[in-house]
Amino acid sequence: MSLVEFSIDHHVVQIALNRPPVNALSAELSDELAVAFRRAADPGIRAVVITGEPHFAAGADIKGFQAAFDRGHDDHLAANLGEAIRLLETLEKPTIAAVRGFALGGGLELAMGADFRYLADDARVGQPEIRLGLIPGAGGTQRLPRLVGYQRAKEMIFSGRQLEAEEALDLGLADKVFPAAQVLEAAMSDAGRWAVGPTRAYGAAKRALNDARRLPIDQGLAAEMDAFLECFRTDDAREGVAAFVDKREARFSGMPGD
Protein backbone atom coordinates (compact mmCIF):
# COMPACT_ATOMS: atom_id res chain seq x y z
CA MET A 1 0.00 0.00 0.00
CA SER A 2 1.30 3.43 -0.91
CA LEU A 3 1.72 5.70 2.09
CA VAL A 4 1.15 8.78 -0.07
CA GLU A 5 -1.58 9.21 -2.69
CA PHE A 6 -0.92 11.48 -5.68
CA SER A 7 -3.77 12.67 -7.90
CA ILE A 8 -3.94 15.45 -10.51
CA ASP A 9 -6.98 17.46 -11.55
CA HIS A 10 -6.65 20.40 -13.97
CA HIS A 11 -2.99 21.14 -13.15
CA VAL A 12 -3.60 20.85 -9.38
CA VAL A 13 -2.06 17.91 -7.56
CA GLN A 14 -3.53 16.60 -4.32
CA ILE A 15 -0.97 14.80 -2.16
CA ALA A 16 -2.69 12.83 0.60
CA LEU A 17 -1.00 11.03 3.48
CA ASN A 18 -2.30 7.46 3.69
CA ARG A 19 -1.08 5.78 6.87
CA PRO A 20 -4.18 4.91 8.93
CA PRO A 21 -5.43 5.53 11.47
CA VAL A 22 -3.81 8.91 12.23
CA ASN A 23 -1.09 9.34 9.56
CA ALA A 24 1.70 8.89 12.09
CA LEU A 25 4.93 9.93 10.44
CA SER A 26 7.71 7.46 9.75
CA ALA A 27 10.97 7.56 7.78
CA GLU A 28 9.26 5.53 5.03
CA LEU A 29 6.31 7.91 4.81
CA SER A 30 8.73 10.84 4.71
CA ASP A 31 10.62 9.24 1.84
CA GLU A 32 7.38 8.82 -0.13
CA LEU A 33 6.50 12.46 0.53
CA ALA A 34 9.88 13.47 -0.90
CA VAL A 35 9.14 11.45 -4.04
CA ALA A 36 5.72 13.08 -4.35
CA PHE A 37 7.13 16.60 -3.96
CA ARG A 38 9.76 15.89 -6.63
CA ARG A 39 6.96 14.74 -8.95
CA ALA A 40 5.06 17.92 -8.15
CA ALA A 41 7.96 19.99 -9.54
CA ASP A 42 6.76 19.02 -13.05
CA PRO A 43 5.91 22.24 -14.95
CA GLY A 44 2.53 20.77 -15.88
CA ILE A 45 1.55 20.90 -12.21
CA ARG A 46 0.79 24.47 -11.23
CA ALA A 47 -0.51 24.21 -7.66
CA VAL A 48 -0.30 21.68 -4.82
CA VAL A 49 -2.62 20.72 -1.97
CA ILE A 50 -1.34 18.40 0.77
CA THR A 51 -3.80 16.80 3.15
CA GLY A 52 -4.68 13.73 5.21
CA GLU A 53 -7.83 12.13 6.63
CA PRO A 54 -9.18 11.98 9.30
CA HIS A 55 -6.06 13.65 10.70
CA PHE A 56 -3.51 15.61 8.69
CA ALA A 57 -0.65 13.96 10.62
CA ALA A 58 -0.82 13.28 14.34
CA GLY A 59 2.96 13.38 14.78
CA ALA A 60 5.81 10.91 14.74
CA ASP A 61 5.40 7.15 15.10
CA ILE A 62 6.72 6.94 18.67
CA LYS A 63 7.24 3.19 18.34
CA GLY A 64 9.86 4.02 15.73
CA PHE A 65 11.73 6.08 18.31
CA GLN A 66 11.62 3.17 20.75
CA ALA A 67 12.94 0.81 18.10
CA ALA A 68 15.82 3.19 17.40
CA PHE A 69 16.67 3.29 21.11
CA ASP A 70 16.62 -0.50 21.25
CA ARG A 71 19.00 -0.74 18.26
CA GLY A 72 21.29 1.89 19.72
CA HIS A 73 20.86 3.99 16.56
CA ASP A 74 19.72 7.52 15.88
CA ASP A 75 16.26 7.82 14.39
CA HIS A 76 16.12 8.85 10.73
CA LEU A 77 12.62 10.35 10.77
CA ALA A 78 13.61 13.95 11.46
CA ALA A 79 16.25 14.02 8.72
CA ASN A 80 14.01 12.33 6.14
CA LEU A 81 11.02 14.48 7.00
CA GLY A 82 13.14 17.63 7.02
CA GLU A 83 14.36 16.87 3.51
CA ALA A 84 10.80 16.29 2.28
CA ILE A 85 9.56 19.54 3.86
CA ARG A 86 12.37 21.49 2.26
CA LEU A 87 11.33 20.10 -1.14
CA LEU A 88 7.77 21.26 -0.46
CA GLU A 89 8.91 24.68 0.73
CA THR A 90 10.98 25.31 -2.39
CA LEU A 91 8.42 24.17 -4.98
CA GLU A 92 8.07 27.09 -7.38
CA LYS A 93 4.28 27.10 -7.37
CA PRO A 94 1.57 27.80 -4.77
CA THR A 95 1.11 25.14 -2.09
CA ILE A 96 -1.63 24.73 0.53
CA ALA A 97 -1.84 22.42 3.54
CA ALA A 98 -5.49 21.49 4.17
CA VAL A 99 -5.56 20.41 7.82
CA ARG A 100 -8.26 18.41 9.56
CA GLY A 101 -7.89 16.86 12.98
CA PHE A 102 -4.38 16.79 14.41
CA ALA A 103 -1.28 18.39 12.91
CA LEU A 104 1.17 17.83 15.74
CA GLY A 105 4.94 17.63 15.89
CA GLY A 106 6.18 16.63 12.47
CA GLY A 107 2.64 17.10 11.17
CA LEU A 108 2.75 20.80 11.99
CA GLU A 109 6.30 21.01 10.61
CA LEU A 110 5.00 19.53 7.36
CA ALA A 111 2.11 22.01 7.23
CA MET A 112 4.52 24.89 7.83
CA GLY A 113 6.43 23.88 4.69
CA ALA A 114 3.42 24.91 2.60
CA ASP A 115 2.80 28.49 1.51
CA PHE A 116 -0.62 28.55 3.20
CA ARG A 117 -2.36 26.59 5.94
CA TYR A 118 -6.14 26.14 5.79
CA LEU A 119 -7.45 24.63 9.04
CA ALA A 120 -10.71 22.90 9.78
CA ASP A 121 -12.47 24.35 12.80
CA ASP A 122 -11.85 21.05 14.61
CA ALA A 123 -8.10 21.08 13.92
CA ARG A 124 -5.48 21.02 16.67
CA VAL A 125 -1.88 22.02 16.00
CA GLY A 126 1.25 22.13 18.14
CA GLN A 127 4.83 21.05 18.77
CA PRO A 128 4.57 18.55 21.67
CA GLU A 129 8.08 17.08 21.34
CA ILE A 130 9.23 18.63 24.63
CA ARG A 131 6.91 16.24 26.48
CA LEU A 132 9.05 13.38 25.18
CA GLY A 133 12.27 15.05 26.23
CA LEU A 134 12.87 16.10 22.61
CA ILE A 135 12.61 19.22 20.46
CA PRO A 136 11.23 19.70 16.94
CA GLY A 137 13.74 18.24 14.49
CA ALA A 138 12.27 18.86 11.03
CA GLY A 139 12.22 22.64 11.00
CA GLY A 140 9.86 23.56 13.82
CA THR A 141 12.30 25.76 15.72
CA GLN A 142 13.13 27.62 12.50
CA ARG A 143 9.78 28.06 10.73
CA LEU A 144 7.49 28.56 13.72
CA PRO A 145 9.16 31.82 14.90
CA ARG A 146 8.94 33.19 11.37
CA LEU A 147 5.18 32.64 11.40
CA VAL A 148 4.13 33.51 14.95
CA GLY A 149 7.10 35.46 16.35
CA TYR A 150 10.03 34.41 18.51
CA GLN A 151 8.42 34.64 21.93
CA ARG A 152 5.17 32.90 20.97
CA ALA A 153 7.15 30.13 19.29
CA LYS A 154 9.25 29.69 22.41
CA GLU A 155 6.12 29.40 24.56
CA MET A 156 4.55 26.87 22.19
CA ILE A 157 7.69 24.72 22.03
CA PHE A 158 8.45 24.90 25.75
CA SER A 159 4.86 24.06 26.73
CA GLY A 160 4.13 21.52 23.99
CA ARG A 161 0.51 22.64 24.11
CA GLN A 162 -2.07 22.21 21.37
CA LEU A 163 -3.69 25.23 19.73
CA GLU A 164 -7.25 25.28 18.48
CA ALA A 165 -7.87 26.54 14.96
CA GLU A 166 -9.03 30.03 15.93
CA GLU A 167 -5.97 30.67 18.09
CA ALA A 168 -3.74 29.46 15.27
CA LEU A 169 -5.53 31.93 12.98
CA ASP A 170 -5.07 34.78 15.44
CA LEU A 171 -1.32 34.03 15.69
CA GLY A 172 -0.81 33.83 11.93
CA LEU A 173 -0.08 30.10 11.98
CA ALA A 174 -3.28 29.45 10.01
CA ASP A 175 -4.35 31.53 7.02
CA LYS A 176 -8.01 30.52 6.92
CA VAL A 177 -10.40 28.41 9.01
CA PHE A 178 -13.36 26.48 7.58
CA PRO A 179 -15.92 23.96 8.79
CA ALA A 180 -14.30 20.53 8.67
CA ALA A 181 -16.39 19.35 5.73
CA GLN A 182 -15.33 22.33 3.62
CA VAL A 183 -11.60 22.77 4.24
CA LEU A 184 -10.32 20.47 1.47
CA GLU A 185 -12.83 21.80 -1.04
CA ALA A 186 -11.77 25.36 -0.22
CA ALA A 187 -8.10 24.49 -0.60
CA MET A 188 -8.69 22.79 -3.95
CA SER A 189 -10.78 25.74 -5.16
CA ASP A 190 -8.09 28.28 -4.31
CA ALA A 191 -5.39 26.03 -5.76
CA GLY A 192 -7.42 25.81 -8.96
CA ARG A 193 -7.56 29.59 -9.14
CA TRP A 194 -3.78 29.86 -8.72
CA ALA A 195 -3.25 27.08 -11.26
CA VAL A 196 -4.48 29.38 -14.06
CA GLY A 197 -2.33 32.25 -12.83
CA PRO A 198 1.25 33.27 -13.72
CA THR A 199 3.06 30.25 -12.30
CA ARG A 200 6.53 31.54 -13.13
CA ALA A 201 5.81 34.78 -11.29
CA TYR A 202 4.50 32.87 -8.26
CA GLY A 203 7.74 30.88 -8.20
CA ALA A 204 9.90 33.99 -8.55
CA ALA A 205 7.97 35.79 -5.81
CA LYS A 206 8.35 32.77 -3.55
CA ARG A 207 12.12 32.67 -4.07
CA ALA A 208 12.45 36.40 -3.42
CA LEU A 209 10.34 36.17 -0.26
CA ASN A 210 12.39 33.23 1.00
CA ASP A 211 15.57 35.20 0.28
CA ALA A 212 14.20 38.04 2.41
CA ARG A 213 14.39 35.76 5.44
CA ARG A 214 18.07 34.90 5.06
CA LEU A 215 19.87 37.64 3.13
CA PRO A 216 20.96 41.16 4.09
CA ILE A 217 18.70 43.70 2.41
CA ASP A 218 21.18 44.70 -0.31
CA GLN A 219 21.58 41.08 -1.39
CA GLY A 220 17.84 40.54 -1.10
CA LEU A 221 17.13 43.53 -3.34
CA ALA A 222 19.57 42.22 -5.92
CA ALA A 223 17.90 38.79 -5.80
CA GLU A 224 14.50 40.46 -6.21
CA MET A 225 15.71 42.37 -9.30
CA ASP A 226 17.02 39.15 -10.84
CA ALA A 227 13.66 37.48 -10.19
CA PHE A 228 11.79 40.46 -11.64
CA LEU A 229 13.85 40.37 -14.84
CA GLU A 230 13.31 36.62 -15.11
CA CYS A 231 9.55 37.24 -14.96
CA PHE A 232 9.80 40.12 -17.43
CA ARG A 233 11.13 37.74 -20.08
CA THR A 234 8.24 35.27 -19.79
CA ASP A 235 5.28 34.79 -22.09
CA ASP A 236 3.05 35.36 -19.06
CA ALA A 237 4.40 38.89 -18.59
CA ARG A 238 3.74 39.70 -22.24
CA GLU A 239 0.23 38.25 -21.93
CA GLY A 240 -0.49 40.06 -18.66
CA VAL A 241 0.51 43.43 -20.07
CA ALA A 242 -1.40 42.84 -23.32
CA ALA A 243 -4.51 41.81 -21.41
CA PHE A 244 -4.33 44.94 -19.27
CA VAL A 245 -4.01 47.17 -22.33
CA ASP A 246 -6.82 45.31 -24.13
CA LYS A 247 -9.04 45.40 -21.01
CA ARG A 248 -9.56 41.61 -20.95
CA GLU A 249 -8.77 38.70 -18.70
CA ALA A 250 -5.22 37.39 -19.01
CA ARG A 251 -4.68 33.80 -20.14
CA PHE A 252 -1.50 32.70 -18.42
CA SER A 253 0.33 29.58 -19.60
CA GLY A 254 2.85 29.31 -16.76
CA MET A 255 5.59 28.69 -19.33
CA PRO A 256 8.91 30.51 -19.84
CA GLY A 257 9.46 32.99 -22.63
CA ASP A 258 11.86 32.70 -25.53
Laid out side by side, the sheet with 4-9 consists of 4-9, 12-17, 47-52, 95-99, 116-120, 176-178
Q: Are residues 9 and 129 in the same domain?
A: yes
Its domain, for residue 210, covers 199-246
Q: Residue 90: phi, psi to the nearest 5?
A: -100, 5
DSSP assignment of 90-108 equals: T-SS-EEEEE-SEEETHHH
- 159-175 pLDDT, tens per residue? 999 999 999 999 999 99
Q: How many domains does the chain have?
A: 2
Q: What is the per-residue burial (b if ≥16 Cβ within 10 Å, else e) of 68-103? A: eeeeeeebebbebbbebbebbbebebbbbbbbbbbb
CATH of the domain at 218: 1.10.12
- The verdict on residue 141 lying in a domain is yes
Q: Are residues 104 and 220 in the same domain?
A: no
Q: Are residues 206 and 190 in the same domain?
A: no
- 219-235 pLDDT, tens per residue? 999 999 999 999 889 98
Q: Residue 101: phi, psi to the nearest 5?
A: 65, -135
Q: How confident is the model at residue 81 (pLDDT cuts 50, 70, 90)?
A: very high
Strand-strand pairing, 124-126 and 102-104 = parallel
- The verdict on residue 17 lying in a domain is yes
Q: Are residues 78 and 21 in the same domain?
A: yes
Q: Are residues 19 and 101 in the same domain?
A: yes
Q: Are residues 143 and 223 in the same domain?
A: no
CATH of the domain at 163: 3.90.226.10
Q: What CA dihedral angle connects 168, 176, 206 and 256, to 10 degrees?
A: 160
- 93-109 pLDDT, tens per residue? 999 999 999 999 999 99
- The verdict on residue 256 lying in a domain is no
CA–CA gap between residue 239 and residue 133 (Å, rounded): 55
Catalytic residue IDs: 109, 129
| Closest C-alpha to 195, from 27, 7, 41, 48 | 48
- The verdict on residue 67 lying in a domain is yes
